Structure 1
Amino acid sequence: MKIELITIRKIQDQRGNLSVLENDILPFDFKRIYYLYDVPAGAERGGHAHIAQQEFLIALSGSFDVVLNNGEEQKTICLNKPYEGLLIHEGIWRELNNFSSGSVCLVIASAVFDEEDYIRDFNEFLRFKK
């Protein structure tokens, strides 16, 4: 499956920790950054795949699960460390669920929003993968 868990350098200090994202961590130049927060209990986000876009997800606060499917296998990754991110390459279906109270999901994307890059129906995704 075209995903990678990437550890982000953590600089520890008695005043608090600091993590920095620079171009050498991601295999793309980012074009868009957005974040999800105040997700109600039991709600799900995602539910789509991208044809070309790649994304890097980080749990800045709290935790959530990312359910990934490449058309042949499914895997669930729990993100719960602000110094670890999940790189999701193109052509991977993703669903985000099980958000803890106060969680924040940061998404760094390789492209600006383009509805034509989204596959929002799982059966259509499976046809796309064949």
Structure 2
Amino acid sequence: MKIHILPLQTHGDDRGSLIALEEGKNIPFPVKRVYYMFNTGEGVRRGYHAHKTLKQVAIAVRGSCRFLLDDGREKIDITLDNPCQGLLIESFIWREMYDFSPDCVLMVLADQLYEEGDYVRDYAQFMDMVGQ
């Protein structure tokens, strides 16, 4: 499956910790868009889509959430709960995010600006597109 956990190097001392996100170093694409989700209600599931070309790195900056990822052949479930790790999600991966902790802040870096035409929002259509 076209996903990877990216280690994010932490720098810190007795004052606290810092992680720098840098294109070409720990982020494997040019960053064109950054957004984050917070105050997600209990029991809410988000996502329910895939992207035709977009690549993303998701980071649980605070708290935790779970991802259900599906490439049409394999499904995996990953918990993001460490701000020192990023989840790289390539194109044509169906994603659903759920089980958000009350304090979760999920930040996403994307290699493209928002483009509605890049989204596949129907699971049956997604399965047709990946040949399943």
TM-score under structure 2 length normalisation: 0.97
Percent of aligned pairs sharing the same letter: 38
- C-alpha RMSD over aligned residues: 0.6
Aligned pair 1:84/2:90, yes or no?
Answer: no
Between the aligned partners of 2:84 and 2:33, the Cα distance in structure 1 is 20
Instruction: Quote the residue 1:38 is aligned against.
Output: 39
Between the aligned partners of 1:20 and 1:27, the Cα distance in structure 2 is 14
Q: Report the Cα offset of residue 15 of structure 1.
A: 1.1
Instruction: Quote the residue 1:123 is aligned against.
Output: 124
Residue deviations 1:23-52, cap 9 Å, x none?
111221011000000000000111100000
Q: Structure 1: where are the runs of 5+ without partners? A: none
Instruction: Quote the residue 2:108 is aligned against.
Output: 107
Amino acid of the structure 2 residue aligned with 1:32: R
Amino acid of the structure 2 residue aligned with 1:99: F
Instruction: Quote the residue 2:3 is aligned against.
Output: 3
| Matched residue SS, 1:53 | coil
TM-score under structure 1 length normalisation: 0.98
Instruction: Quote the residue 1:14 is aligned against.
Output: 14
Between the aligned partners of 1:36 and 1:21, the Cα distance in structure 2 is 18
Between 15-24 and 56-65, report the one with greater CA deviation: 15-24
Between the aligned partners of 2:49 and 2:109, the Cα distance in structure 1 is 16
Instruction: Quote the residue 1:60 is aligned against.
Output: 61
Amino acid of the structure 1 residue aligned with 2:19: S
Q: Structure 2: where are the runs of 5+ without partners? A: none
Between the aligned partners of 1:76 and 1:85, the Cα distance in structure 2 is 15
Q: Report the Cα offset of residue 12 of structure 1.
A: 2.4
| Matched residue SS, 1:30 | coil
Runs of 4+ in 1 over 2 A off after TM superposition: none
Report the count of equivalent residues: 130
